[in-house]
Amino acid sequence: MADSFKPTLYVNHRCPFCLKFMIYLAQAGLLEDFTVTVFEPGSPEHEATKTHLIPHFDSVSFPVVEVEPGVFKKDSDALIAYYAEKSGKKAADMPLLDYYSSGVLKQVIDLFMENRKLKEEAAANA
Ligand SMILES: N[C@@H](CCC(=O)N[C@@H](CS)C(=O)NCC(=O)O)C(=O)O
């Protein structure tokens, strides 16, 4: 990308959607174009980052990129689409991204849903 502005990428170290977007950027050869800000969930840096981003969204979730000065975007799929359009590097051409999304990420989402259901059932039976 020829822009002189260097976008900042905000990622939660344990977020599977943040990793998905980082895999896209790495496979597209774009990751070095970003300043990457990583925080641990529940850390003071996490809270500070959310506080910084709250004015820009109805609700904050990660990954987030400041794509232009003062312009912030979130959601891994939306960010991949944005940079695919901007760079011409299509997600469909990235086998590692598909491998991760259809494998490990799918498993993480399935486990999250199962865990939430079990917690709801446990609460209903308490
Ligand atoms: N559909 C969103 C989901 C993102 C998401 O749920 N991120 C979680 C972490 S895995 C999050 O940011 N939660 C709020 C927080 O960490 O403050 C995406 O693909 O980016």
Q: Tens digit of pLDDT for each residue in 57-116?
A: 999 999 999 999 999 999 999 999 999 999 999 999 999 999 999 999 999 999 999 999
76 CB less than 6 Å from ligand 1? yes
Distance 67 CA to ligand 1 centre (A): 18
Dihedral angle, C-alpha 73, 34, 102, 105, nearest 10 °: -80
State yes or no: pLDDT of 2 exceeds 60.
Answer: no
45 CB less than 6 Å from ligand 1? no
Interatomic CA distance for residues 22 and 76, integer angstroms: 9
Length of the chain counted residue by residue: 126
Distance 20 CA to ligand 1 centre (A): 11
Structure confidence at residue 1 as a pLDDT band (50, 70, 90): low
Contact 105, 16 (CB under 8 A): yes
Interatomic CA distance for residues 29 and 92, integer angstroms: 15
Distance 4 CA to ligand 1 centre (A): 28
State yes or no: pLDDT of 123 exceeds 70.
Answer: yes
Strand boundaries in 35-91, DSSP class E: 35-39, 64-68, 71-74
Ligand 1, atom nearest to 79 Cα: 20
What amino acid occupies position 65?
V
Alpha helices in the chain (DSSP H): 16-28, 44-53, 76-87, 95-102, 104-125
| This model's pTM is above 0.75 | yes
